[in-house]
Amino acid sequence: MNIRHIPIIEAQTFSAEVLARFDKELAKYPADQKQSAVIACLSIVQQVHGHVSPEGEKAVAQYLGMPVMAVHEVSTFYNMFNLKPVGRYKINVCTNLPCQLRGGQKAIHYLCEKLQVEVGGTTTDGLFTLQPGECMGACADAPVLLVNDRSMCSFMTDDKLDQMIDGLRTATKEPS
């Protein structure tokens, strides 16, 4: 039997700004219930670093004083966490029934064609990851999609999808 080398995972280092945001979340909960802030902290890590890595999980675990495995249970349970790197813009298109009735499926197929990517895939330039999504609670605005978890876009007809993708491409090229 081979004894496999198990890599030691170093905890990720976070900026002062990220830590300040962690503190703000932590302040909402009783001092002995720091774990309550885990979803918020992981989502901040994802917003800043693009995905939640094992190193990120370890750092959050240390910060909240909880086992790394308990953090991993959370990051694997909640669908919006990226456990692997994704494109610069992760697009989740809602395809649930109310959206399906108003062009949700059509929107995701249109994006597949436009971006030359399969559902679940990332464009070769690393800019866009396209994923289906479940109900986002915006059924009257169908078709709806989320960009990088935090920006919801409503009434996404083909014209608007074009406008959005082209706009994101341009905004990426221009230094802000």
Footprint of other proteins (CB under 8 A): 28-30, 33-40, 42-43, 64, 66, 70, 73-74, 77-81, 95-98, 100-102, 105-106, 133-142, 146-147, 149-156, 160, 163-164, 167-168, 170-172, 174, 176
Nearer to other proteins, 10 or 73 (CB): 73
Nearer to other proteins, 10 or 169 (CB): 169
Q: Which of 10, 89, 86, 76 is nearest to 51 (CA)?
A: 86
Minimum Å distance from CB 49 to other proteins? 15
Which pair of structure tokens corresponds to residue 32? Answer: 């002995």
Minimum Å distance from CB 1 to other proteins? 32
Nearer to other proteins, 11 or 66 (CB): 66
Q: How many residues does the chain have?
A: 176
Nearer to other proteins, 106 or 122 (CB): 106
Minimum Å distance from CB 76 to other proteins? 8
Beta strand 89-94 pairing with 128-133: parallel
Q: Which of 20, 16, 19, 38 is nearest to 29 (CA)?
A: 38
Residue 128, helix vs strand vs coil: strand
Nearer to other proteins, 10 or 166 (CB): 166
CA distances from 1 to 4, 5, 118 (A): 9, 13, 40
Minimum Å distance from CB 22 to other proteins? 13
Minimum Å distance from CB 35 to other proteins? 4
Question: In this structure, is the dihedral angle defined by the CA atoms of residues 47, 80, 57 and 29, taken in order, positive or negative?
Answer: positive
